[in-house]
Structure 1
C-alpha cells in the first residue's frame, strides 16, 4: 500500500522541509498579529506531520492497521473519560487549537497518542539499548514531551487546567498509558523503524520548548 511514491522526494529534502516548517511555525507563533492564524492551522500542521510519517512507514498489513486503530480509539476514549470525569489526568478542558471535537475532546488527540507512541519507540530502538528497555525508555520520552507541552499548551489554546495547575497524576497517567501503547506495539511486533520518526519528534519537542520561553 503506497500513500505516495517515496522515491519522488529524497528523505534528506523532507528533513530540511520539516526544519524550515517548524522554524516558520515558531516565528508565526511569537509574532502577535500572526499567532491567531497559526493557532487556526495547528491541526492541519499536525496532520501533515502524521501523513509524512505514514508515507515512510515500511509496510501496511491488516494487523498493522488494526493495532494503529486500537491505539487511536483507545487514546481518544481515555481522553474523553478524562475530560468528562477528571479522574484520570485531573480537571481540564480542551481549547480550539486541535480542531474538531467530539464529546468535548479533539479527534486529533487520538492521532497524537499514536504518533507519539510510534515515534518514541522508533527513537528508543535506535539507542542501542536492550530490547526490553525500550518498553520503559519510549514512554519516558513521551512523558518528557508532555512535561514540555504542559508549559505551553494553554498559551496555544490547546487545553487548560483547573486553577492553571497540572496535577502530578497527569504525569503518572501519561506514563502508564504510554507504556500500555508501547507494550501493545511491541507485543504485536509492529515495526516502527521510520526515517522521519526522530526528526519529527525532535522538531516538535524543540518547537514546544522554544515556545515555552518565547510566548
Structure 2
C-alpha cells in the first residue's frame, strides 16, 4: 500500500486536536485501568468502543476520502478478515489460536473488529512509513516491520486480556512471518 502521495491532515484545526485528545484519553484511560485497576473487566468492556472510535476518527480526518480510498479500506478490511478466518478455523495462517470474548461479536470464530484492526494497523504503518525519504519498496518493508512490531508488543498480553489464545500458550514464529507477509501484501 502506498501512502506517500497523501497530504498530511491539517494539524492545527480545533476539531483535529479534539479528536486526537479523545483518542489519547481513551487509550490512556484503558492503559492505566488495565495496568493498575482491580476491576480490569470494567476497562476491557470498552475495548471494542475504543477501537471503533480510533478507526472512525482516522477515517474522518483522512484527506482525500474518494472512491479509491474507500475501496482500499474495504479491501484491507476484507483481506484481514479472510486471513483471520482462515487462521482461526484451519491454523494454516499464523498458527493455531482462538479469539476470546473481549473483541466482541464474531463471524466464524473471528471478531469483526479484527478486520477493522487490520485496516487501522495497515493504515497507520503506511502513513508512518510514507514520511521516510526512502524508495517505495523500503517504505513498504518499513510499514510491514512496524505492523509486526505492534504484534510483538500485543502477543505477550493478549491471552491475559482474553483477546486471543494460542494452543499451548506458545506463540509460533510463523505468526510473525505470516503477519509480515500479509502486511507486505496489504
* TM-score of the pair, normalised by structure 1: 0.76
Q: Hey, which of these two has a bigger chunk of helix by percent?
A: 1
Question: How far did 1:76 drift?
Answer: 0.3
| Residue correspondences, number | 176
Relative to structure 2, which stretch is displaced further, 12-21 or 107-116? 12-21
- 5+ long unaligned stretches in structure 1: 1-5, 182-215
Residue number in structure 2 paired with 1:163: 168
The answer to whether structure 1 residue 154 and structure 2 residue 163 are counterparts is no
* TM-score of the pair, normalised by structure 2: 0.88
User: Structure 2 CA distance, aligned partners of 1:167 and 1:145?
Assistant: 16
Residue number in structure 2 paired with 1:104: 109
What CA deviation, in whole Å up to 9, does each residue of 1:51-107 have, x standing for no partner? Answer: 110111112222222221111111101101111111111110000111110101001
Please report the RMSD computed on the Cα atoms of aligned residues, expressed in angstroms. Answer: 1.8
175, 179, 191: which one pairs with 2:180? 175
- Flag the structure with more relative contact order, 1 or 2, with Cα contacts below 8 A and sequence separation at least 6: 1
User: Structure 1 CA distance, aligned partners of 2:173 and 2:19?
Assistant: 37
User: Structure 1 CA distance, aligned partners of 2:12 and 2:173?
Assistant: 46
After TM superposition, what 4+ stretches of structure 1 lie above 4 angstroms from structure 2?
Answer: none
The answer to whether structure 1 residue 93 and structure 2 residue 98 are counterparts is yes
The answer to whether structure 1 residue 67 and structure 2 residue 72 are counterparts is yes
What CA deviation, in whole Å up to 9, does each residue of 1:85-136 have, x standing for no partner? Answer: 1111111000011111010100110111111111101001112222331111
